Chain A
Amino acid sequence: MTNHDVDVLVVGSGASGAAFTWSLSEAGINVMCLEQGGWLNPATDYTTSDIDWELHRQTDFHPSPNFRRLKSDYPVNDTNSPIAPLMYNAVGGSTIHWSAHFPRLKPSDFRVKSLDGVADDWPITYKDLEPYFDANDKIMGVAGLNGDPGYPVKSPRQTPAIGLGKLGDKIVSGFDKLDWHWWPADSAINTVEYDGRLGCNNCGPCDLGCPRKAKSSTDVTYWPKAIKNGARLITNARVREVTVNDKGEADGVIYYDKDGNEIEQKAKIVVLACNGIGTPRILLNSKSPAFSDGLANSSGLVGKNLMFHPYARVTGIFDEDLEGNKGPTPLSIMSSQFYETDLSRGFVRGYSYQVRRSMSPLEVAFSGQITWGSDHHKEFSRMLNRTVGFVVIGEDLPELHNEVILDSEIKDGDGIPAPKVNYTLSENSRKMMDHGIGTSKQVMEAAGAIDVFYDPLIRNAGWHLMGTARMGNNINDSVVNKYGEAHDVKNLYVIDGSVFVTAGGVNPTSTIQAIALHAADHIKKNARHINTQ
Chain B
Amino acid sequence: MNVEHSILNENQIEDLESLLICLIPKVGLMPSATEVDVIGFLQKLMFEQPSFKNHIFVILEEIKNICSSQEKSFDKILCQEQISIIKQVEIQLPDSFQELLKQTYNAYYTNTTVLKLIDGQEHPPQPIGHDLTEGDFSLLDAVKARGDIWRDIV
Binding site for B on A (CB under 8 A): 46, 48-55, 58, 106-108, 110-111, 114-115, 125-126, 145, 147, 149-152, 160-166, 168-169, 172, 176, 179, 181-184, 200-205, 208, 211-212, 321, 323, 325-327, 336-337, 339-340, 361-362, 365-366, 372-374, 376-378, 384-385
Contacts and interface: CB of A to CB of B under 8 A. Distances in A.
A147 B147 CA distance: 10
Interface of B: 22-25, 27-28, 30, 83, 101-102, 104-106, 108-110, 112, 115, 118-121, 124-137, 139-140, 142-144, 146-153
B112 A51 contact: yes
A22 B119 CA distance: 44
A336 B150 contact: yes
Nearest to A172: B139
B135 A169 contact: yes
Contacts of A106: 150-151
6 contacts: A48-B124, A51-B110, A145-B137, A336-B149, A361-B118, A366-B102
Contact of A373 (B22, B30, B102, B134): B22
Given A49-B125, A365-B109, 4 more contacts: A51-B124, A184-B137, A203-B125, A372-B23
Contacts of B119: 321, 384-385
A114 B153 contact: yes
B126 A203 contact: yes
A212 B126 CA distance: 9
Contacts of A58: 106
B130 A365 contact: no
A340 B152 CA distance: 11
Given A49-B127, A152-B150, A169-B135, A376 B109 contact: no
A182 B149 CA distance: 11
B25 A373 contact: yes
A150 B146 CA distance: 11
Contact of B133 (A50, A165, A362, A384): A165
A103 B30 CA distance: 42
Contacts of A151: 150
Contacts of B144: 147, 149
Nearest to A126: B153
B106 A165 contact: no
A183 B110 CA distance: 35
A261 to B, nearest CB: 33
B49 to A, nearest CB: 11
A150 B128 CA distance: 35
A149 B133 contact: no
Contacts of B24: 372, 376-377
A201 B128 contact: yes
A411 B146 CA distance: 54
A46 B126 CA distance: 10
A460 B38 CA distance: 28
A361 B126 contact: no
B130 A204 contact: yes
B109 A164 contact: no
Contacts of A126: 153
A515 B148 CA distance: 25
A377 B27 contact: yes
B11 to A, nearest CB: 23
Nearest to A125: B153
A372 B132 CA distance: 33
A48 B146 contact: no
B106 A55 contact: yes
Contact of A362 (B101, B105, B153): B105
B150 A108 contact: yes
A345 B131 CA distance: 41
Contacts of B134: 160, 163-164
A164 B136 CA distance: 8
A374 B27 contact: yes
